[in-house]
Structures are given as C-alpha cells and as structure tokens.
Amino acid sequence: MSGDLNGLIKAQAYGLGFDLVGLTTLGPVDTATANDEWLARGFAGDMEYLHRGAGKRRDTTLPFAGAVSAIVVGLDYGGRAPPGPVARYARGDDYHDVMERKLGELHEWIEAAVGHDVAGKPYVDTGPILERDLARRAGLGWFGKNTNLIHPKLGSFFFIGALLIDLDVAADPPFEADRCGTCTRCIEACPTEALVEPRVLDANRCISYLTIEAKGEIPEEFRQSTGSLIYGCDICQDVCPWNVRFAREPKVPEFAPRTVLASNDARTIAQTILAMNDDQFREAFKGSPMKRAKLRGLKRNAAVVLGNIG
C-alpha cells in the first residue's frame, strides 16, 4: 500500500494544482552543519527567529511530534512575468495562505484515502523546517549557487511547502546532481555582492533582506545598488540559465498583481506608497506578503527608489 499510496498522493497533489511533488522520510538534516555555520558567521542579519529555531531545524522529526514522512510540493508563480519594482512572488496574494490551503485539502484527502485519522501539519516558510533541504531529499531539485532550489524543467520560480505526517509512505530518491556546473552568473549579477561564495548568502547585503526583513535604515552603501527595487529582488534568478530556458508564464489567479501594483512602474508605485495612510495601506495590501515590511518599511524603500531614479 505504501508504494501505491505514493503515486495516489502525487496524483491528488497535481490535481490540486501543485507543479512538483515528492515524498521523503524525516530525520537528521543534511545541511544542518552548514546552516549552523551560516548563522555563526552572522549572515542571518537581524532575523533572530532563525537562531531560536536552529535546534529543531537540525532534524525534521522534531518540529511536529510523531511525524515520519513529508510530502513536499512546489507551486510555480510565474518567472516569465516581466521584471519590476516588486519581486514576482509578492505581487499577488500571500503564498503562505494559498499553499497552506492546498496542503490542508491534500491532508483531508489522505485521511479519506487511508480510512483513518492521520496527524499532520503543513509548513510553508512558517516553522523551524528547512523546506529546501526536504525538497532536495524528495527529488525536487538541487541547490543553485544563488541558494535557490532549481528544478531541471521548471527553474527556481516556485514556492516550496511540506506536509509532515505520521504515516509511512514510500520515499522518492533524492536529487543528487549539481547542474550548475561552472556557471557563476548569479554571483556576478548580484549588485550588492550578497552571494559571498557559491550557495552562501550574506543576508546583510541582500536586497530582499534589506527591503523586507531589515527594520532600520537601508545602509547608505547599498542604497544606489537597490536601484528601482521597492520590495524584494529577483536578479539572481533572472540571470540563471535554467530560468531563462524554463521559467513559465503566471497561471495561478491568486498570484496575479493586485491593483496597487498593476502598473509595474517603480515611480508610480513608490509615489502611491508614500501617499498612503495606515487605512489605505491595510486596504491595498490586505492578504499580501508585502504587509511584512509594514507601511513604514515600504515608505523607506519607496523613498530610496525615488532618490535613485530621480
């Protein structure tokens, strides 16, 4: 039944709209030591939550007691959409909500399929789980030099989620190959030199971190390099040959740009944000991942962008 269930789960997950599905067992994390070293080097910036959850991130059996397997999924968000001042992933509805809803439906289907309760919990960037590591173990891709997971027929413009369950299922083989070869386009393209070595990102220098997670002022040394980017950055993905070849057109309705971002014009969006009050912000960005930066963070970013573009 375990082997048959693997195929049935995948078929159902694809039916729910996921683009990638793989199953794996839980246990010690292959990249735990590398993650600890990354934290020790101070590359997490002010993201203290990464330090607090470091212990549980070393073993995927720890975050959800009793779990023995993970169903790992990928959902494409449209790398062929035009580049713009807001990273593609953040232009529509919050991916956490979309992914968790779909994983919840998959969980309900599994319980109906096996005929009994199955304890489970979805994770979409929402707990002490290294989803990227689970995804590689489940066969969904390899770690690119830009630190993103890359699938050989999809590129890297996809969200990763995992459903941890207390049910034994047949595991898929891990993705062992490294298909980046000698390519270093992502490292060379980063305007702030945030990729300090292959597969090592210094968040303190990363435009995504500086425009989303960082709470204070953007350091002066990075302001000009931020260019016209108001929220997030896709540069290291845009230059990746796997995305140049395999990135797809947007297809998920929930990820279509909301009205305030429809122009995809840095000046228009920056001026709109600077003119917003709190109520207008809540209305414009209801259900958006951009709420994470709060209005003061978006206004900070908008001011930097207008200073850059004149």
Domain boundaries, the chain: 2-165
Q: List the structure tokens of 308.
A: 């850059």
Q: List the structure tokens of 289.
A: 């991942």
Angstrom distances, CA of residue 94 to CA of 21, 97, 114: 21, 6, 31
Which residues are identified as catalytic?
125
- Over range 210-224, report the average pLDDT: 98
* Residues 247 and 155 sit within 8 Å (Cβ to Cβ): yes
Structure confidence at residue 310 as a pLDDT band (50, 70, 90): confident
| 157 sits in which H/E element | none
Read off the pLDDT of residues 46-92 as tens digits, 9 standing for 90 and up: 999 999 999 999 999 999 999 999 999 999 999 999 999 999 999 99
- Over range 175-180, report the average pLDDT: 98
CB atoms within 10 A of CB 243: 24
pLDDT number for residue 114: 97
Q: Taken in order 286, 292, 294, 295, is the CA torsion positive or negative?
A: negative
* β-sheet bridge partners, residue 28: 59
Secondary structure class of 204 (helix, strand, coil): helix
Could you tell me where the beta strands, DSSP code E, fall in 176-277?
Answer: 195-197, 200-201
Task: Quickly tell me which residue has 């210094």 as its tokens.
Answer: 202
pLDDT number for residue 279: 99
Read off the pLDDT of residues 270-280 as tens digits, 9 standing for 90 and up: 999 999 999 99
For 147: left if phi > 0, alpha if psi spans -120 to 50, otherwise beta; the answer is: left
Residue 292, burial from CB neighbour count under 10 angstroms (0-12, 13-18, 19+): middle
Average pLDDT over the chain, rounded to an integer:
98
Angstrom distances, CA of residue 250 to CA of 22, 236, 244: 22, 19, 15
- Over range 135-146, report the average pLDDT: 99
Read off the pLDDT of residues 239-289 as tens digits, 9 standing for 90 and up: 999 999 999 999 999 999 999 999 999 999 999 999 999 999 999 999 999
- Over range 177-189, report the average pLDDT: 99
* Residues 120 and 103 sit within 8 Å (Cβ to Cβ): no
CB atoms within 10 A of CB 219: 12
| 143 sits in which H/E element | strand 142-143
pLDDT number for residue 40: 98
Least confident of 1-5, 139-143, 208-212, 290-294: 1-5
CB atoms within 10 A of CB 168: 12
